[in-house]
Amino acid sequence: MTTALEVASAVRDPELPVLTLADLGVLRDVAEEDGRVVVTITPTYSGCPAIDEMGADLRRSLVGAGYPDVEVRLSLSPAWTTDWISEEGRSKLAAAGIAPPSRIGPTVAGPVPLNLVPPSRQVACPQCGSLNTSEISRFGSTACKALRRCHACAEPFEHVKEI
Amino acid sequence: MSFDNAYESLLGGEDAHWAFGTGFSEALSGVNREFPAGVDREALAAYCLMLGDDALIFSQRLSEWCSRAPELEEDIALANIALDLLGQARMLLTRAGEVLGRDEDALAYLRDEREFRNVHLAEIDCGPGPGGDFAATIARLLVFSSWRLALFSRLRGSADPVLAAIAEKGLKELAYHRDHAAQWTVRLGDGTDESHRRMQAGLERVWPFVDELFATHAVEVTLTGVAVDPASLRSEVDGVLEAVLNAAGLTRPTDTRAARVAGMAGRDGVHTEAMGYLLAEMQHLHRSLPGAVW
């Protein structure tokens, strides 16, 4: 029998289906308590509409794999960061034509610095690898993505924005 | 299964599989929600309503721009910002509801105007309808997100672990909202004569509602260590706004104080004329069809 952790780790993200919930870093814990599987997940954004779908998919996969008693718990703290997307997840995103986020490091205490111009971080085009890209839209089709274009190959592409 | 209606075949079983409909579980499901010892629960609920209503009502206002913004990217941007705020509102109203014995839907849809605790800045009408302008909405977003970001930054240290976690989560979202508004303010203020004129007019529209943001309420005094005293945020927020206005070549308006009613404002449930119309639209469906699911 596949372990509950293996089953939960293989469940895919509903909005970025190239990634598993484990790749995305939203799967925080899988534990067995008195025969019940307790899965803990964390939302990417406060208003992420996919969070309930993630819970339902986890429950369905685990029940299908022979774990009838499943509880999905939500964890808010520590808050999700794109730094939790695994190396494998970053490779999968790039292969699917979505630029992975850069690493931002831990949040610092105190006032959050203001950015009066869009950050000048370089984002490589997932199609041709050129660094000559620019932002088209700070928001994209889902809460976690922005839209960019490549000036070398002229392709538009999505970018998982750093938070 | 009948194929007369395509949705019938989609909606069989649990509809939580779909990111729409009424299958959403409550916003704080599974989070440890014990109340810390010694905290006044009634006051905590009142405080969660204040912060939750700010997000809910401003989210409703931002949603009104969807399909009405100057460009497609802004439709998406304002709708995404509204979604983040709605997520924050759901968690805060759920927390309040644990004390009040009402769920998030009952609090959002079945309270009357005098029971809402949001600041006036969240409710005023800045468009897209008559008399409104995108620049005024950007001005409001700049002020609101600068203020709420400073507030959430301090709220991370709240003695209530749920409030601290909501703040930690929302902080990153608000930082992105503030940057978005700041970059638009600079683009419009430092753009053409027309964009500059309209951005300045947008600031003049929202500035009378600024003082209310920093007025300490009795609930915040009661909740020392749990709530943040908004008066303590003023110098930080002023500094941020000044940096943006300077970069944009805009002038800081001098009118910061809208009239109160017998000293009361949004935190006391006293609202502006715009609030009733907003609630009528937001609550109409739920009140006309009680218990409706889809």
Among B24, B88, B171, select the one facing A112 at the smallest CB separation: B171
pLDDT recorded at residue B31: 76
Across chain B, what does the average pLDDT equal? 91
Instruction: From chain B, pick out residues whose CB is under 8 angstroms from the CB of A14.
Output: 19
| B19 inside domain | no
Among B16, B80, B183, select the one facing A117 at the smallest CB separation: B183
* C-alpha dihedral (A17, A23, A27, A32), degrees to nearest 10: 110
Averaged pLDDT, A149-163: 93
Among B30, B87, B186, select the one facing A45 at the smallest CB separation: B87
Strand pairing report for A145-150 and A27-33:
unpaired
Token pair for residue A133?
């890209």
| B4 inside domain | no
For residue range B86-107, list pLDDT tens digits in order: 999 999 999 999 999 999 999 9
Q: Using alpha carbons only, give the angle B88, B46, B91 rounded to the nearest 5 degrees.
A: 20
pLDDT recorded at residue B7: 53
| B182 inside domain | yes
pLDDT recorded at residue B53: 98
Averaged pLDDT, A28-49: 91
| B27 inside domain | no
SS3 B133: coil
| B188 inside domain | yes
Contacts of A61 (CB under 8 A, 6+ apart): A7, A8, A10, A11
Token pair for residue B231?
């008066």
| A45 inside domain | yes
Q: Count Cα atoms within 13 angstroms, Cβ side, for B265.
A: 23
Q: Which of A70, A77, A149 to mutate to test the interface with B (most CBs of B within 10 A)?
A: A77
pLDDT at B6 over 80: no
| A107 inside domain | no
Adjacent-strand bridge partners of A145: A160
The alpha-carbon gap from B214 to the nearest alpha carbon of chain A, in Å, equals 17
CA distance B180 to B178: 5
CA distance B167 to B151: 9
Token pair for residue A149?
């274009």
The alpha-carbon gap from B52 to the nearest alpha carbon of chain A, in Å, equals 13
For residue range B229-239, list pLDDT tens digits in order: 999 999 999 99
A&B contacts, CB < 8 Å: 131
Token pair for residue B37?
């010892």
Q: Between residues B28 and B222, which one has the greater pLDDT? A: B222
CB neighbourhood size of A19 (10 A): 23
| Rg of chain A (C-alpha set) | 18
Nearest alpha carbon to residue B63 among B85, B78, B84: B78
DSSP state of B130: T
Token pair for residue A104?
């931002």
For residue range B237-269, list pLDDT tens digits in order: 999 999 999 999 999 999 877 878 878 899 999
Cβ B198 vs Cβ B135: under 8 Å: yes
pLDDT recorded at residue B256: 79
CA dist B228 to A45, A157, B93, B223, Å? 23, 41, 18, 8
| B3 inside domain | no
The alpha-carbon gap from B145 to the nearest alpha carbon of chain A, in Å, equals 11
| B273 inside domain | yes
CA dist B12 to A62, B2, B147, Å? 20, 12, 45
The model's confidence at residue B1, banded by pLDDT at 50, 70 and 90, is: very low
| B11 inside domain | no
SS3 B13: coil
pLDDT at B135 over 90: yes
For chain A, percent of residues with pLDDT exceeding 90: 66
* Strand blocks (E) in A15-127: 27-33, 36-41, 70-74, 98-99
CA distance B65 to B134: 9
CB contact (8 A) between residue B80 and residue A139: yes
- Domain of residue A11 covers 4-74
Query: Taking phi first (over 0 means left), then psi (-120 to 50 degrees means alpha), and beta for anything else, what does residue A149 get?
Result: beta
For residue range B151-172, list pLDDT tens digits in order: 999 999 999 999 999 999 999 9
The tally of domains found in chain A comes to 2
Instruction: From chain A, pick out residues whose CB is under 8 angstroms from the CB of B84.
Output: 45-47, 143
Q: Using alpha carbons only, give the angle A101, A103, A108 rounded to the nearest 5 degrees.
A: 125
The tally of domains found in chain B comes to 1
* CATH code, domain with B138: 1.20.1260.10
Instruction: From chain B, pick out residues whose CB is under 8 angstroms from the CB of A80.
Output: 169
Cβ B228 vs Cβ B155: under 8 Å: yes
For residue range A68-126, list pLDDT tens digits in order: 999 999 998 899 999 999 999 999 999 999 999 999 888 777 888 888 887 767 899 99
CB contact (8 A) between residue B84 and residue A136: no
For residue range B159-217, list pLDDT tens digits in order: 999 999 999 999 999 999 999 999 999 999 999 999 999 999 999 999 999 999 999 99
pLDDT recorded at residue B32: 77
A8/A68 same-domain check: yes
CB contact (8 A) between residue B83 and residue A49: yes
CB neighbour class for B103 (10 Å; exposed up to 12, middle 13-18, buried from 19)? middle
Q: Which of A139, A147, A149, A159 to mutate to test the interface with B (most CBs of B within 10 A)?
A: A139
Q: Which of A40, A114, A141 to mutate to test the interface with B (most CBs of B within 10 A)?
A: A114
CA dist B66 to A158, A163, B85, B288, Å? 21, 24, 15, 24
Among A46, A57, A75, select the one facing B31 at the smallest CB separation: A75
pLDDT at B23 over 60: no
Cβ B248 vs Cβ B192: under 8 Å: no
CB contact (8 A) between residue A137 and residue B73: yes
For chain B, percent of residues with pLDDT exceeding 90: 81
pLDDT at B2 over 60: no
H or E segment to which residue A135 belongs: strand A133-137
Averaged pLDDT, B50-77: 96
Averaged pLDDT, A20-28: 96
User: pTM higher than 0.95, yes or no?
Assistant: no
Cβ A146 vs Cβ A158: under 8 Å: yes
Sheet holding A133-137, edge to edge: A98-99, A156-160, A145-150, A133-137
Across chain A, what does the average pLDDT equal? 91
The model's confidence at residue B15, banded by pLDDT at 50, 70 and 90, is: low
A125/A67 same-domain check: no
Contacts of B222 (CB under 8 A, 6+ apart): B40, B43
Cβ A123 vs Cβ A148: under 8 Å: yes
CB contact (8 A) between residue A79 and residue B168: yes
- Domain of residue B118 covers 37-288
Instruction: From chain A, pick out residues whose CB is under 8 angstroms from the CB of B149.
Output: 112
pLDDT recorded at residue B121: 97
Among A43, A107, A116, select the one facing B186 at the smallest CB separation: A116
A67/A124 same-domain check: no
The model's confidence at residue B56, banded by pLDDT at 50, 70 and 90, is: very high
Cβ B259 vs Cβ B97: under 8 Å: no
pLDDT recorded at residue B223: 96
